[in-house]
């Protein structure tokens, strides 16, 4: 975790200037954030004789409400909160942008000083300037506490709701495969004492397959519930490292080859080998890709096509896409499918609780990414998610 530097104030004399430039620097947990902090502080130190400046470093995962408040779309981002008007510098070249804007900010402050002097406001404004960032920091701290309390409340409500849903699912959904498996086993038991049935080896094999299938269904349902339960209980631990997506995707696709062959599906790949490393947890990313592939295979009809591709979308983001030629998803349902336990009408006879996509979204968001779906009814769906580039 980054160690944000203490709030820093610099002045060319013991008597502070009446106006200060107050800055907030938003960073994430990528290693490159250290370098961005160093460069920005280095430039500010070089202009310390110009004006009083105040800088606070904020990690976005610790105060996400501020990210939303300032409507930030990329990190790192440097926000000038005072004097007005507010201004945001973002991207990998913040120092160059800062060099461009600093003379303008300095000029604005000089004009403000002259105006204050004319109006006899120097002392009052000086005191206000010294206390403004302290007040803002305290307000940020209190806002962060309120946000965390509301978040904990929401998580507790979700856990209670989930437990109620699990009880209803266990009473309803597990009954069908359990009954089917029991019938198959009982029929096999009867067959042991019935010479006519014993002669039909094919029937016995069908009964064995039916029992095995239903046990797999129950195992999959229970696994989905446990994964979702861990996520809701805050046990989604993300240990970040460098991940080479092409190698990971190709390994997963090799493991799925038999399933593609069983349905005579065509697998198309667009996986460049010059894709940069991403910043994430390999096993969690694997889980997202596996869930999306499971869905693609399940909904693609025989002799259909599944496509897996990787795109270096921006300097900061890598996009992974899994597409199928299945029935597609209605437009009004494309956001709901990422909600826990939501299932399309077409899925009522298929195994699963609809937890997979919900878990995928939680994992992708934990990686500072996005997940969404594009779909055309009758032609297929494409699920996309993004991950940050390792810098």
Output the DSSP codes for 228-264. HHHHHTT------EEE-HHHHHHHHHHHTHHHHHHTT
- Under the banding of pLDDT at 50, 70 and 90, the label for residue 265 is very high
pLDDT score recorded for residue 130 = 43
SS3 213: helix
Picking from 65, 59, 78, 82, the residue whose alpha carbon sits closest to that of residue 134 is 82
pLDDT score recorded for residue 363 = 87
pLDDT score recorded for residue 172 = 54
Domain residues of the chain, as ranges? 8-146, 173-232, 241-388
What are the DSSP calls for 324-342, one per residue? Answer: --SS---GGGTTGGGSTT-
pLDDT score recorded for residue 7 = 39
- Under the banding of pLDDT at 50, 70 and 90, the label for residue 210 is confident
Cα–Cα distance, 26 to 174 (Å, whole number) = 47
- Under the banding of pLDDT at 50, 70 and 90, the label for residue 15 is very low
Give 139 or 6, the one with higher predicted confidence.
Answer: 139
pLDDT in tens, 299-315: 999 999 999 999 998 78
Contact between 265 and 304 under an 8 Å Cβ cutoff? The reply is yes
Q: Is the pLDDT of residue 351 over 50?
A: no
Q: Is the pLDDT of residue 71 over 70?
A: yes
- pTM, full prediction: 0.51
Cα–Cα distance, 318 to 385 (Å, whole number) = 8
233-237, 356-360, 384-388, range with the lowest pLDDT: 233-237
- Under the banding of pLDDT at 50, 70 and 90, the label for residue 246 is very high
pLDDT in tens, 145-201: 787 788 788 877 876 776 666 565 555 556 666 777 777 777 777 766 665 555 566
Q: Across residues 228-250, what is the average pLDDT? A: 75
Q: Across residues 256-278, what is the average pLDDT? A: 93
Q: Across residues 73-98, what is the average pLDDT? A: 86
Q: Which two tokens stand for residue 11?
A: 């002045």
CATH number, domain 8-146: 3.40.30.10
Q: Across residues 321-346, what is the average pLDDT? A: 78
pLDDT score recorded for residue 349 = 47
In the chain, the percentage of residues whose pLDDT exceeds 70 is 69
What does the DSSP 8-state code read for residue 107?
H
Q: Which two tokens stand for residue 357?
A: 């996509």
SS3 272: coil
- Under the banding of pLDDT at 50, 70 and 90, the label for residue 376 is very high
pLDDT score recorded for residue 377 = 92
Q: Across residues 31-49, what is the average pLDDT? A: 84
Q: Across residues 232-261, what is the average pLDDT? A: 84
Give 125 or 339, the one with higher predicted confidence.
Answer: 339
CATH number, domain 241-388: 3.30.565.10
How far is Cα of residue 338 from the mean position of the Cα atoms in its chain? 12
pLDDT score recorded for residue 212 = 73
Residue ranges of E strands in the chain:
8-10, 20-27, 52-59, 77-82, 87-90, 241-243, 266-270, 278-280, 305-311, 317-323, 371-376, 380-388
Mean pLDDT of the residues in the chain? 77
Q: Which two tokens stand for residue 260?
A: 């593609």
């Amino acid at each position: 975790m980054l160690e944000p530097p203490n709030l820093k104030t610099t002045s060319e004399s013991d008597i502070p200037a009446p106006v200060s430039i107050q800055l907030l620097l938003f960073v994430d947990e990528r290693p490159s954030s250290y370098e961005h902090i160093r460069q920005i502080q280095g430039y500010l130190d070089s202009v310390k004789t110009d004006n009083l400046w105040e800088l606070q470093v904020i990690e976005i995962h610790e105060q996400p409400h501020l990210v939303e408040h300032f409507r930030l779309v990329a990190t790192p981002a440097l926000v000038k909160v005072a004097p007005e008007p507010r201004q945001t510098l973002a991207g990998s070249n913040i120092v160059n942008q800062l060099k461009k804007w600093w003379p303008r900010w300095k000029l604005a402050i000089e004009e403000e000083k002259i105006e204050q002097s004319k109006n006899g406001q120097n002392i009052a404004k000086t005191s206000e300037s010294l206390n403004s960032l302290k007040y803002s920091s305290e307000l940020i701290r209190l806002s962060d506490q309120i946000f965390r309390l509301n978040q904990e409340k929401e998580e507790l409500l979700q856990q209670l709701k989930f437990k109620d849903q699990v009880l209803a699912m266990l009473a309803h959904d597990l009954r069908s495969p359990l009954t089917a498996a029991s019938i198959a086993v009982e029929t096999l038991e009867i067959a042991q004492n019935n010479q006519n049935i014993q002669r039909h080896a094919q029937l016995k094999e069908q009964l064995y397959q039916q029992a095995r299938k239903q046990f797999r269904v129950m195992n999959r349902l229970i696994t989905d519930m446990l994964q979702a339960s861990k996520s809701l209980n805050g046990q989604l631990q993300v240990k970040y490292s460098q991940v080479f997506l092409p190698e990971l995707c190709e390994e997963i696709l090799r493991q799925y080859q038999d399933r593609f062959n069983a349905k005579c599906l065509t697998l198309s790949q667009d996986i460049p080998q010059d894709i940069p490393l991403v910043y994430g947890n390999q096993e969690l990313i694997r889980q997202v890709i596996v869930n999306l592939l499971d869905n693609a295979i399940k909904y693609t009809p025989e002799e259909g096509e599944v496509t897996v591709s990787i795109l270096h979308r921006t300097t900061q983001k890598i996009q992974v896409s899994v597409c199928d030629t299945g029935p597609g998803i209605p437009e009004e349902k494309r956001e709901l499918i990422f909600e826990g336990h939501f299932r399309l009408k077409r899925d009522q006879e298929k195994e699963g609780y609809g937890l997979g996509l919900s878990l995928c979204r939680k994992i992708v968001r934990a990686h500072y990414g996005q997940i969404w779906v594009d779909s055309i009814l009758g032609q297929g769906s494409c699920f996309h998610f993004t991950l940050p580039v390792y810098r």
